[in-house]
Chains A and B, each alone.
Chain A
């Protein structure tokens, strides 16, 4: 019987995340895994630019806040100098798949021994709901008022599929936090992404489909439905690479 308590890796602090947002679940899962593996005191996390920028107010470990999209490069510098420490990045879709695309691809391709938690909610949250690289076709955002169009803005970037061709990548899995069953699988994937690093297997990335009720302009319940019926179609869950 698992006792429900706050992980030591997280502070006892209220978050600024909106009601129904998936960040709280994703960060709790990361916290639980860090606790389980006993890593808190040897972990250095990187905070992104975006809604999760304030994660150092929630994570009870060393954190460096990075320029937008540059977390993988910053993490590379840390991990290369401290290979015995555990380094993870926590990034959103704009951070990882738009402004930081080059850093993402090349860090993966070098096979840096890092853990990347990639939260994909198909929108820019912090800046108020603009189109993200993962916004799905037809999705209305503040910069695609008529819906994202294939011939104007291009289709959504599927990060796991994109990275799966790179030899340096060890592990890619897409999970979701939109149902209890999915949360269980997300936890397993995150745990694997950290144990891979402990076993020096190289670059591991877990893509987490997540809800953004505020900027999707949906209720929390409708947002869960959006992930289930819309996002999962475009971003199929599953393991894209495991070596």
Chain B
């Protein structure tokens, strides 16, 4: 594939890969797991073609630790997996977050818990947004809803990672990973001015040696100071980076909220409800962390009810309740385990939840 802009038909997993390569990703390590196998397969030839390095790791644990090393050298790097594999990566993710190194981690979610199945799901929201690994840390979590958005957000993910020196997770699902759409391969445009990477390990020629570590034993306050620094960074990210799509909410009596592929389905249902004369809107968080509270606060002033749709047993609903501060009832439509909502089913749920 050339690096020119073109309109081509691509699978979601490959869209993410192509965007990553164009955003300057130079290292990928991963392990096969369905439904994200196209990611290592595509990058196994595409990354070397673009002057990068691909490694098929012996495990998810090894893969995330290869990312830890590659990130320490200052090159853009990423790994991907699906739910059970992302669980295995949590140790490394905690270390990378603690060391404040940039990298991109994609989770093409599948049904759980346990080995689950290979159908799409959104059951890893808590893991992605609330921590996942040990210790107090946050990932920046991006939730694309279409392949065009996946392409753009993947490029942005590398920028956010570098800008905030923080791991970024692309939280997608098996449908987005496997679906095929025409994509316009726009050129990469960085979101930020590049800053000097003053942390990288490349030998200490002409400078003092650098240490990347996450153990802070002495003085006793040292780790507290690290935590305070992280808190300050997370506050800064929260104040600067909250992305959300607010769709027809101004006069809405019922607000549907969903992210990712579920939001795409819900949007269709909202449009159908509108054509039936129901005043329904959609709030679609694009950053799941930091969570965009403001649109919910605003909507809670006029709307009478919220309806959260997820391919899970109800996870983002907790953040919606926190965001709208329990001002209005919040109902739920969804279940985990590989269940997909159709537009008609969401429309039916809307009609049932619609205020009398």
Closest residue of A by beta carbon distance from B206: A41
Residues of B within 8 A of A42 (CB): 203, 205
The total of chain A residues at the interface (CB under 8 A) is: 37
Tell me the B92-124 residues at the A interface (CB within 8 Å).
92, 95
A44 at the binding interface (Cβ < 8 Å): yes
Residues of B within 8 A of A76 (CB): 29, 55, 62, 66, 69
Where the two chains meet, the residues of B that have a C-beta atom closer than 8 Å to any C-beta of A are: 26-27, 29, 53, 55, 57-59, 61-63, 65-73, 75, 77, 91-92, 95, 201-206, 209-215
Assess whether A64 is in contact with B201, with CB atoms less than 8 Å apart.
yes
Residues of B within 8 A of A82 (CB): 73, 202
Contacts A56-B213, A64-B212, A67-B68 supplied; 14 other A-B pairs, CB < 8 Å = A42-B203, A64-B69, A64-B72, A65-B213, A70-B61, A70-B62, A73-B63, A77-B65, A77-B69, A78-B201, A80-B55, A102-B61, A103-B62, A103-B65
Q: Is the interface of B mostly helix, strand, loop or mixed?
A: mixed
In order of increasing CB-CB distance, the 4 nearest A-B pairs are: A77-B69, A73-B65, A106-B58, A77-B70
Closest residue of A by beta carbon distance from B68: A74
Closest-CB distance, A31 to chain B (whole angstroms) = 13
Residues of B within 8 A of A86 (CB): 203
Sampled A-B contacts (30; CB under 8 Å): A40-B204, A41-B204, A41-B206, A42-B203, A42-B205, A44-B203, A53-B215, A54-B215, A56-B209, A56-B211, A61-B203, A61-B209, A62-B201, A62-B211, A64-B69, A65-B212, A65-B215, A70-B61, A73-B61, A74-B68, A76-B69, A77-B65, A77-B70, A78-B201, A80-B53, A85-B203, A86-B203, A103-B58, A103-B62, A106-B57
CB 8 Å contact bits of A59-89 with B (1 = contact, 0 = none): 1111111110010011111111110011000
Cα-based distance from A188 to B327 in the complex (angstroms): 73
A195 at the binding interface (Cβ < 8 Å): no
Residues of A within 8 A of B67 (CB): 77
Residues of A within 8 A of B65 (CB): 66-67, 70, 73-74, 77, 103
Cα-based distance from A43 to B204 in the complex (angstroms): 8
A77-B204 contact in complex given A65-B215, A70-B61, A102-B62, C-beta closer than 8 Å: no
Assess whether B62 is in contact with A62, with CB atoms less than 8 Å apart.
no
